[in-house]
Amino acid sequence: MSPLQRSCRRLLCGTRSLLLLPWLALPLAGQSPSAGGLLATIVDERGTPVPQVTVSLEQNGGLVRSLVTARNGQVTFGILTPGSYAVLAEELGYQPVRMHDVPVQAGGTSQVRITIRRMPPPITAVADVPSNATMSIATVQGGGSDRNLRLFPRTTDISSAGRDFSDISVPDDGRPGYAIAANGLRPSWSSLVVDGVPEALLRHPGIPSEAATAPLFARDGLSDVSRTGFGASADDPSVLGSTLEGTSQRGTGKFTFRPWATYSGAKLGGRGADNPDDSAATSIQAGLAMGGAIKGDTAAWFVRGDYQQLELPSAAPFTLGSTMADSDANLLGAFASAAPAGSQHDINRWLAPTVRTWKGGSGSGRLDWRFGPNTLLAVRAGGASWTEQNPQVGTELVNGAGAELKAHDVSAAAALTTGSDGWTSETRLGGHSAARDWTGAPLPATLIAGDALAFGGAANLAGNFKEMGIDLSEAFSYRMGVHTLKVGGAVQHRTVNYDYIPGSAGLYTFGDLGTFTAMTGAFYQATRGAASPDIGVSDLAIFAEDQWQATPAFQIFAGVRFDHEALPTDVIAQDAAWERVSAFNNAAVPTDSKSQDFAPRGGFRWDAAGNGHTVLSGSVGLVPGQYDLAAFAEAAQFDGDVTVRRSTGVLAWPASGSTAGTDAGQALTTFAPNVHKPRSFKTDLSLAQVLANGTTLTVSGGYRHADYLLQRTDLNLVAGALATDADGRPLFGALEQYGALLTPTVGSNRRFPEFDHVYGLTSSGYNDHYQATLALDHHLNQSVSVQVAYTYSHTTDNLPGEMSADPANRLSPFPDGLNGARWEDGRSDFDIPHRLVATLALATPGKSAFNLAARFRMQSGLPFTPGFRPGVDANGDGAAGNDPAFVSPDTPGLATVIAANSCLSSQSGSFAARNSCRDAAVQALDLSAAVKLVHGLALTVDAYNVISTSTGLYDHALVLVDPHGTVTTDASGHTVLPLLANPGFGQLLSRRGDARIIRIGFRVEN
């Protein structure tokens, strides 16, 4: 079989294997987080076990190990690196058989049954057969393919593998990374584990929805990627979200040399809308992966590296239409002209398309050394360094021009696995370091609220983020008859430094062209003194588990895990002034309650017929999360050392600092005294049925309830509403109007005037997530396969503003409730109910092998709350992005908008419910083709987003502030806001998303 054919077969069979994972189980010789096992049974054509058969385990064409079958025809490879293997059975007088694509998963034992037939000599070829592996692992959830490591690598790092899972919500605004939501939770609750060692997935902590990347772990350096939605095993540290797990590639006995390179250009098949400036930006990628043996099948090495220089033009930053407060035909030009002359204040770069660049490389290596048959030492190390120019930062309106990211990751890990048929011990040691240094453009962030325009640096920049961690863990398992006991522990120490103050570069908000020209609006800036502190966090985990094979068909497991996390108590300074006026100690540090550190878990698996064709499995348990270090770092920064400067009226744009505003008081962030570590209750149930003619159907569902999540409240909000508007909206500040902008008078919304916002963080947040997945895996023949996975989910929570980089937007606009209920209890910001991934793979055999694959992905749009334009603070609470609109047909022009949007019609006469409307669904079709030329050289063509929907930032403003109106008071004493309907409600404001890219290249497979 050719390498290309093998690649295709790996796709076909590997995917099937993954889908089988939840219900195919065997008693395990000893579970290991980073090693698996293989049990091969060799029988003749009558089904009789054949002893003394030489069984060789191969990987990437190289020999891994060889053993001889016992009298029962079986041979066991006890400790294997997870990945895909080939099993070769040879015996004199029999036709040799090589079974391909046998998966080995960490913590599981795969079983294959190979039939060899008597054959008189001469024997000239090995018979190739597909895998019939069954395996046991109860913790991995499918729903998509995780083996497409060589397919659709739009970005080469492991984080892009999330696009192959239907139960993962991926970013649809052009930003790469692993998930914007998993289990209905923000991505910071998900994690990356490679070779059983936690790795950095370092995000901008001020952007909760940022899907982080990990270029250090490139696809060509990985042999396996999976996703764990529920770590039901007690030794799985697990997280509230999901864990992306990878296994680094190891060398084999065969020398491999696999260079690759690609080229793409903005004009090579790109869309005009994605490149309106007709940029000639080009991108190149090149890499090399090599491996081989050091000492037979005892030791092997593997190294890889890549370099990428990517240039991607952006779409026009603003899609201007009739939605704006200003009707100027050349609005962008008008704003550019209105800005003071001079290059320092040139705003054109933010009003025009830009080119985003990514430049850098990564390298890694791995060494495997086997000491005897059951002791394996694996060591890996690597690093990545890259810079990004003009990256899109979060979901802010500003297009990212002028921003820069310098980043580097370093990681090293070692695993020592040893044992016998009855026991297994695995010791892992890892360390990592990651840094992200963001700088913003010199011009302060400037928002024109009424026209939904923005220029200048992003308000969430600059920021410098570092994380270092070291992990040590031990897992020991021992089999006693039908029971397999497992105990172990882990210690981890992380040091993070999140040097970041939201709004530190200044934020100007104007209403429209007129007020921008007049320089009247609002200004905000947070200034600080000392640098952010290093935060050292220690974690200790102890676990025990029993797996009981009650009957050959019924397996039960149960365990308990103890997780204790200790936060430093000396990094948050006590603010005496705050304590004096409030009696609250802002330096309160959450501490673990011992009773809440225990997390029981359990599950079952029932193989109805004992052949793996009908399997029902389920699991239930508690998963303790970890403290939100971004929040902790915020409390350590905002501990009396941050002063807010504000101003309204005539501004000194674009000045910042002392010349731009007046001291509005200290800003604090403080934990409530009773903050708990977050946790999640998770349960899964799965029914899998292997149908005839190569079709497998899986129906699975799960429920997650995460609680003790952090909710935000402003302790320094004025003691009660100052007034009520005509719709019943409580107003917490005296409103000033500047054209299409409403903003509170500085200090009017504060309880204690010497302080600005004082955010209190409580454990009152929760998240409820239901999910059901239907997966179909159909193999038409050896060359064509289809996998379809559809996931439906429903997520509710009480955590508004999760998509926003401004912490103020996570405040409830109705802190005292609305009509006796909590307005924020509702549809989650991450509720993306429909997700579909369908993959078609075609592989032609022969010397001129041709592989073609297509992947179609669809997911619902993000939900949103019909409200006001960003920057408008309709209730004067200091948050300029959290106010829902009042859906009233009495508002001029709104009856038409209500009639045109079904999500509004049922809300007439009330405040818009949280996330009651939704952006358009996003679809994308990717194609990948490879043609083998000669000597393993293949020509590759990858086309991403061949067909896709336009997406980006949508206009979520249902109403606009009428720049020609004024705030008045009616006869009842209620405040009347001057509002107009926004005819552009729901339309695209800024086109963003994955552009169409066509890459041509080559790769060598040997």
Partner 1 sequence: MRRNICLILLGLSAACSNAGESLKYPSLAIGRLAVSDYFDRDASGGVTPDDTTFAGARFALLAPGGTDTLRTAVANASGVAIFDSVPVGAYRLVVDRHALGDSIGVVQGDTGLVRLVTTQDSITAIRTIGLGYSVVSLATARTLPVGRRVFVRGVVTVPLQTFSDTATYLNDSSSALRVTNAHPIGRTTRNGIGDSVMVLGTIAQVHGLTVLDQGAIYTLAIGPAPVPITVTVTDARTAQGGTLDAQLVKVIGTTIRDTATVNGVFVVRASDPADSTNLVDVLIDPALGAPASFFPIGSTMTITGALSYDGANVWGIKPRMAGDIIIP
Q: Which has the closest alpha carbon to 757: 993, 524, 424?
A: 524
Q: Estimate the share of the chain in helix, then strand, then coil, as percent rounded to the nearest 5.
A: 10, 50, 40
CA distance 521 to 650: 7
**Which is closer to partner 1, CB of 547 or CB of 773?**
547
The stretches of 586-701 forming alpha helices (DSSP H) are 594-597, 629-637
At a CB cut-off of 8 Å and minimum separation 6, what does 778 contact? 694, 695, 696, 785, 786, 787
Minimum CB separation of residue 667 from partner 1 in Å reads 16
CB 814 within 8 A of CB 724: no
Q: In this complex, which beta carbon is closest to partner 1, that of residue 708 or of residue 864? A: 708
Between CA 329 and CA 626 the distance in angstroms is 52
Q: Tell me whether residue 972 is exposed, middle or buried, using C-beta atoms within 10 angstroms of its C-beta: 0 to 12, 13 to 18, 19 or more.
A: exposed
Q: 672, 685, 789, 862: which one contacts partner 1 (CB under 8 A)? A: 672
The dihedral formed by the CA atoms of 227, 229, 234 and 237, expressed in degrees to the nearest 10: 70
CB of 553 to partner 1, least distance (A): 17
Residue with smaller CB distance to partner 1, 53 or 522: 522
Beta-sheet pairing, 735-738 with 483-500: unpaired
Residues 63-92 within binding reach of partner 1 (CB under 8 A): none
Of these, 598, 770, 792, 856, which contacts partner 1 (CB under 8 A)?
Answer: 598
Q: Which is nearer to partner 1, 584 or 850 (CB)?
A: 584
Binding test (CB under 8 A) with partner 1, winner from 676, 729, 857, 992: 676
Instruction: Give residue 51's region: left, alpha or beta (phi > 0; psi -120 to 50).
Output: beta
Residues 794 to 833 in contact with partner 1, rule: CB under 8 A: none
Cβ closest to partner 1, residue 10 vs residue 605:
605
Which positions from 710 to 729 touch partner 1 by CB under 8 A, shown as an x/- string?
A: ---x-x--xxxxxxx-----
Scanning 383-391, 452-460, 707-715, 958-966 for contacts with partner 1 by CB under 8 A, the matching segment is 707-715
Nearer to partner 1, 621 or 807 (CB): 621
User: Smallest distance, Å, CB 675 to partner 1?
Assistant: 8
Report the nearest approach of partner 1 to the CB of residue 30 (Å): 20
Binding-site string for partner 1 from residue 750 to residue 769, where x marks contact by CB under 8 A and - marks none: xxxx------x-xxx-----
| Least distance (Å) between residue 622 CB and partner 1 | 4
Distance of CA 299 to the CA centre of its chain: 35
Select 705 or 834, whichever has its Cβ closest to partner 1.
705
Among 495, 596, 695, 782, binds partner 1 (CB under 8 A): 596
Contacts (CB under 8 A) with partner 1, residues 916-975:
973
Q: Which is nearer to partner 1, 307 or 681 (CB)?
A: 681
Interacting span for partner 1 (CB under 8 A) from 138-146, 247-255, 641-649, 744-752: 744-752
Rule CB under 8 A: say whether 705 interacts with partner 1.
yes
Q: How far is the CB of 635 from partner 1 (least distance, A)?
A: 13
Q: Could you give the CA distance from residue 140 to residue 916 in angstroms, rounded to a whole number?
A: 33
- Nearest CB to partner 1, comparing residues 340 and 600: 600
Residue 635 within binding range of partner 1, rule CB under 8 A: no
Provide the 8-state DSSP code for 501: -
CB of 747 to partner 1, least distance (A): 9
The residues, any chain, with a CB within 8 Å of residue 344's CB and separated by 6 or more, are: 442, 443
Angle at 409 between CA 315 and CA 429, to 5 degrees: 145
DSSP of 251-291: --SS-EEEEEEEEEETTSS--TTT-TT----EEEEEEEEEE
Distance (Å, whole) CA 653 – CA 518: 10
Given a contact cutoff of 8 angstroms between Cβ atoms, the answer to whether 698 and 19 are in contact is: yes
CB of 702 to partner 1, least distance (A): 14
Q: How far is the C-alpha of 733 from the C-alpha of 748, rounded, in Å? A: 5
- Rank residues 570 and 579 by Cβ distance to partner 1 and give the closer one: 579
What are the structure tokens assigned to 430, written together? 């890892």
What Å distances lie between residue 230 and 21, 250, 725, CA to CA? Answer: 14, 27, 47
CB of residue 753 vs partner 1: minimum separation in angstroms?
Answer: 7
Shortest distance in whole angstroms from residue 851 CB to partner 1: 47
Minimum Å distance from CB 490 to partner 1?
20
Of 906 and 968, CB closest to partner 1? 968
- Element housing 333 (H / E): helix 331-338
Q: Which residues, numbered 502-561, are part of the site for partner 1 (CB under 8 A)? A: 546, 548, 556, 558-560
Which among 409, 367, 407, 432 is positioned nearest to 216, based on CA atoms? 409
**Under rule CB under 8 A, how many of the chain's residues touch partner 1?**
53
- For residue 323, what is the DSSP state? T
Residue from the set 708, 911, 954, 985 that interacts with partner 1 by CB under 8 A: 708
Exposure string of 520-549, with b = 16+ CB inside 10 Å and e = fewer, is bbbbbbbbeeeebbebebebbbbbbbbbbb
Nearer to partner 1, 152 or 708 (CB): 708
Give the amino acid at 79. Answer: I
Would you tell me how many other CB atoms lie within 10 Å of the CB of residue 480? Answer: 10
Q: Which of 563, 707, 756, 1005 binds partner 1 (CB under 8 A)?
A: 707
Minimum Å gap between C-beta 545 and partner 1 is 9
874 forms part of the interface with partner 1 (CB under 8 A): no
For residue 142, the minimal CB distance to partner 1 (Å) is 24
Kindly state the smallest distance separating residue 570's Cβ from partner 1, in Å: 23
Alpha helices by DSSP H, listed for 677-757, are none
Q: Find the shortest distance in angstroms from Cβ 716 to partner 1.
A: 9
Only one of the segments 136-144, 298-306, 708-716, 877-885 lies at the binding site for partner 1 (rule: CB under 8 A); that segment is 708-716
93 exposed, middle or buried (CB, 10 Å; 0-12, 13-18, 19+)? exposed
Q: How many CB atoms lie within 10 A of CB 927?
A: 18
Question: Out of 599, 642, 740, 789, which residue is the one contacting partner 1 (CB under 8 A)?
Answer: 599
Tell me which stretch binds partner 1 (CB under 8 A): 348-356, 590-598, 891-899, 981-989. 590-598
Number of residues written out for the chain: 1006
Provide the 3-class DSSP secondary structure of residue 189. Answer: helix
Instruction: Report the residue number, 749 or 851, with the smaller CB distance to partner 1.
Output: 749
Residue from 298, 427, 745, 844 in contact with partner 1 (CB under 8 A) = 745
Nearest to partner 1 of 305, 488 (CB atom): 488
CB-wise, 334 or 560, nearer to partner 1? 560
Residue 581 near partner 1 by CB under 8 A: yes
Among 61, 489, 602, 983, binds partner 1 (CB under 8 A): 602
Interaction pattern, residues 375-414, with partner 1; x per rule: CB under 8 A: ----------------------------------------
Taking the least distance from each CB to partner 1, the nearer of 598 and 792 is 598
- Cα–Cα distances (Å) from 695 to 25, 777, 779, in that order, read 19, 6, 6
Tell me the sheet residues that pair with 698: 688, 775
In terms of CB distance, is 681 or 1002 closer to partner 1?
Answer: 681
Summarize as ranges the residues that interact with partner 1 (CB under 8 A).
Answer: 546, 548, 556, 558-560, 579-584, 595-596, 598-602, 620-622, 672-674, 676, 679, 681, 705, 707-708, 713, 715, 718-724, 730, 734, 745, 748, 750-753, 760, 762-764, 973
